[in-house]
Structure 1
């Protein structure tokens, strides 16, 4: 596996699932908005796994449309049952692409992105340096997973506080987001 794309519950010993795939899709969504790989500036070891278990997620850039950021964050929810299904995600992307839902939001995000590039706040030359031990090729992680799954004192509450997310059923109902 590749640590940044693996759902937290897998590190706790759960089996791979559709919900874990949705978490991974959330990381790919982040990669698409930034042009960077998640956690590329840190060593991919047990320390990163513990941070992920404690709710660490990549920082969402200012040029990301809010509706997109909300969907991405819902994919990263520490509780797999609270993540959207792939069917919900497909419907959401369809609304954005084919029905023009949130078009103004996406257009404004593009204006913001261009302005940030012009101000030299974002762009490839400003990306964080890759850590020499940030590994993006699949590798066996069973030793790291078994080590991490034996630890049971994880803070999932801190995730919501760090990201400024209020967890309740209304906030993650995709129909309310759109």
Structure 2
């Protein structure tokens, strides 16, 4: 397995690779600029930029046909998908280094992602897509309307939730 297979998915097309890396770099550049404008430490700027690269790129990667085939191949279970969501501890990493991004906010965003993933994975297959969109809409509202985050990180929860709940957890729609 080569690096592209590991970062995107085995047998990703040139277009999927290009779209994934282009979005990762654009998202990282936007986050870098916002973090600089916030006058955060270089450590914070670096962490925010790295997290943005992963999340923006991952939102596209997880939506590709190649990644859908890979993550939803035979033998993959809800446990695999929940594990993938659970390892996304970026909210806590941001709380560790970013002024104004508190531990409570990190815990709620993490809990929204994980509880949303549980709801989606236990739902009947024909209801997973609408439940994923409903869960994401509610989680986005909580994250952007109730929680307090620095202006330079208002993108974080929406992109994380899109990457995990919509792009990763939903298999390719093969009914058409």
TM interval, short-chain normalised: under 0.3
Q: TM-score when scaled to structure 1?
A: 0.27
Q: TM-score when scaled to structure 2?
A: 0.28
| Larger helix fraction of residues | 2
Bigger relative CO (Cα 8 Å, ≥ 6 apart):
1
